[in-house]
Structure 1
Amino acid sequence: MLEKDLYQPIKDYFIKNGYLVRGEVEDCDVIAVKDEVITVVELKKNLTVKLLTQAVKRQKIGDQVYMAIPKPKGFRYSRSWNDTVHLIRRLELGLLFVSFKGEEKHVEVVIEPKVFNRKRSQVMNKKRRARLINEVKERHEDFNIGGTTGVKLVTAYKEKAIHIACCLNRFETLTTKELRELGTDQAKTTRILYNNHYSWFEKVGRGVYQLSETGKKELKDYATIAKYYNQIIDEAIKSSP
């Protein structure tokens, strides 16, 4: 398939919707005019960064800009596709799919070129923004290296669990009260032990816990963080009456 194969279906679509359509005008693949509103359509075989860049440049002369590509074979919605849709909407571009079935050609409007409301987007993601801020504040140190992949990430929750694990690793068994006295999270220690998300803890009595074999083994994977929390435990012991 060539890019020019997309032209006729796109032209027919806009003519059907009342536009005057011309091809190859001032470096634009397709120009459609209706009521003095200029619509630019860029034709490409694939959705690429080059196409996005080209379409954004066309916004200098067009009131609205579409990108038109053949509908991908086996197309399905996915998280990756949703991210792409968000980017296209953020750039205030439109997207058209062209399907070919024998002699039949069908144009599908996937995204309309509309003004992006960033404030509305932030309001819709208010809870996620709050979680992000809370996560940053809850982390005591920066134990992750940005840009790395394939490694275990340390969240604020995991930090707290490692702190508890370090206490139990040193003293074998402790009550939730004793753990908090050693500096573990005052509000979340009991819940972390109860949920036992990582299977690190074992209850050996009423309010008394010890480190499981899994906990002892996996704690070794966090040696740097364990060193940090062992220092905090040392300080807590020194400052205790």
Structure 2
Amino acid sequence: MSQVGISSETELYEPIKRFWEERGYEVKGEVRHCDVVAVRGEEPPVIIELKKSLNIPLLVQGIDRLKLSPLVYVAIELPPKGRAPHRVSWSELRTMCGLLGLGLLTVRFYKTRREPLVEVVCHPPAMSTAGDAASPVPEGRDAQAAAQAIASAAGQPPTASSANALACEATLTRPRGKRVRVSKRAADRLAAEFNNRHGDFNVGGSTRVKRVTAYRERALLLAWTLHEHGPLPLRKLREQSACSDATKMMQHNYYGWYERHQRGVYGLTPAGEAALTTFAHVVEVIRKQLPSQTQHSQPAP
């Protein structure tokens, strides 16, 4: 079947999301600047960065994500005719990704109604320790071949001397078996953000859009509570919204959705009312977390 190109990396999100969900993962997009995060039980999270094509910024982004988890993939659209990008071989790309500590996924799109096909070019080296069968990392990695692949991804076909220099640098800076150290603090923040979200309202790879974070979810929940009940004292607002940090959020008023009517009593601004309309699909989901006695039969706006 003929293949069709994509116009935006956001088109990669649904196939990638479905691929991991079929393997038992819960998947959410745009979590603390990660395009895609997939979680399964107590395993380390899987992070996937999306780009239309393989390039140096994508690889740098992937390496940076290794500070959050050892299981990081980069995902690209499969180039026409299934050829590896930048005139290198898939074997060279596997070698390169192995040296960098990354996995590589491709997504093939079709002109027909056939579902896009996600294929694993290689798993990150750490995947074999997380319970999934990983593609074996070749013994005696060819650093020069990896250097040629990296240089090609940068759009600069290397000369023999530059390839040798890159290979030497790769050997010196990436000793065998050594990986980027995971930051526990950053990893904990990622886990907290993932777990505190009540739905997947973002499309991975999107830019210049208002992302629905766990904080925005709580802010919308407070706004909906004020919309339903009118101005409330802080104690009542905490009870009705089941939001323990309602006081802090009213005082900070980050989005400008709330206004103080009198000391300790807050209501909703026109901007808050507008937000309930803009994010009505989010409100419909998050308001269901409230205890049944605090909910009205009136639907979200």
Which one of 137, 140, 163 corresponds to residue 62 of structure 1?
140
Residue in 1 aligned with 2:268? 211
Question: Deviations along 1:11-62, whole A, 9 cap, x unmatched?
Answer: xxxxxxxxxxxxxxxxxxxxxxxxxxxxxxxxxx9596733236669x7463
Residue in 2 aligned with 1:180? 238
Question: Deviations along 1:152-200, whole A, 9 cap, x unmatched?
Answer: 43221111111100011122311211111103311x1111122222221
Structure 2 counterparts to residues 68-217 of structure 1, below 5 A = 68-69=147-148, 107=165, 110-112=169-171, 113-118=174-179, 121-122=181-182, 125-139=183-197, 141-144=198-201, 147=204, 149=206, 152-186=210-244, 188-217=245-274
Residue in 2 aligned with 1:26? none
Q: Kindly tell me: are residues 116 and 146 of structure 1, through their superposed partners in 2, closer, same or farther at Cα, counting changes over 3 Å?
A: farther
- The alpha-carbon deviation at position 217 of structure 1 amounts to 0.9
Q: Is the 8 A contact 1:167 1:179 kept in 2?
A: yes
State the structure with bigger RCO (CA 8 A, min sep 6), 1 or 2. Answer: 2
- The alpha-carbon deviation at position 211 of structure 1 amounts to 1.2
- What SS is found at the alignment partner of 2:181? helix
- The alpha-carbon deviation at position 145 of structure 1 amounts to 5.7
Instruction: Name which of structure 1's ranges 192-201 and 142-151 shifts more when overlaid on structure 2.
Output: 142-151
Return the alpha-carbon distance in structure 2 between the equivalents of residues 49 and 63 of structure 1: 15
Return the alpha-carbon distance in structure 2 between the equivalents of residues 47 and 209 of structure 1: 62
- The alpha-carbon deviation at position 130 of structure 1 amounts to 0.7
Q: Kindly tell me: are residues 216 and 157 of structure 1, through their superposed partners in 2, closer, same or farther at Cα, counting changes over 3 Å?
A: same
Q: Is the 8 A contact 2:95 2:138 kept in 1?
A: no
Q: Is the 8 A contact 1:200 1:214 kept in 2?
A: yes
TM-score normalised by the chain length of structure 1? 0.52
Greater per-residue strand proportion: 1
Residue in 2 aligned with 1:52? 93
TM-score normalised by the chain length of structure 2? 0.43
Q: Is the 8 A contact 1:71 1:97 kept in 2?
A: no
Residue in 1 aligned with 2:277? 220
- The alpha-carbon deviation at position 235 of structure 1 amounts to 2.4
Q: Kindly tell me: are residues 134 and 179 of structure 1, through their superposed partners in 2, closer, same or farther at Cα, counting changes over 3 Å?
A: same
- What SS is found at the alignment partner of 2:267? strand
Question: Deviations along 1:103-130, whole A, 9 cap, x unmatched?
Answer: xxx9465533422445x622xx111111
Amino-acid identity (%): 23
Return the alpha-carbon distance in structure 2 between the equivalents of residues 202 and 170 of structure 1: 16
Q: Kindly tell me: are residues 143 and 46 of structure 1, through their superposed partners in 2, closer, same or farther at Cα, counting changes over 3 Å?
A: closer
- Size of the aligned set, in residue pairs, is 166
Residue in 2 aligned with 1:25? none
Return the alpha-carbon distance in structure 2 between the equivalents of residues 209 and 227 of structure 1: 22
- The alpha-carbon deviation at position 237 of structure 1 amounts to 6.0
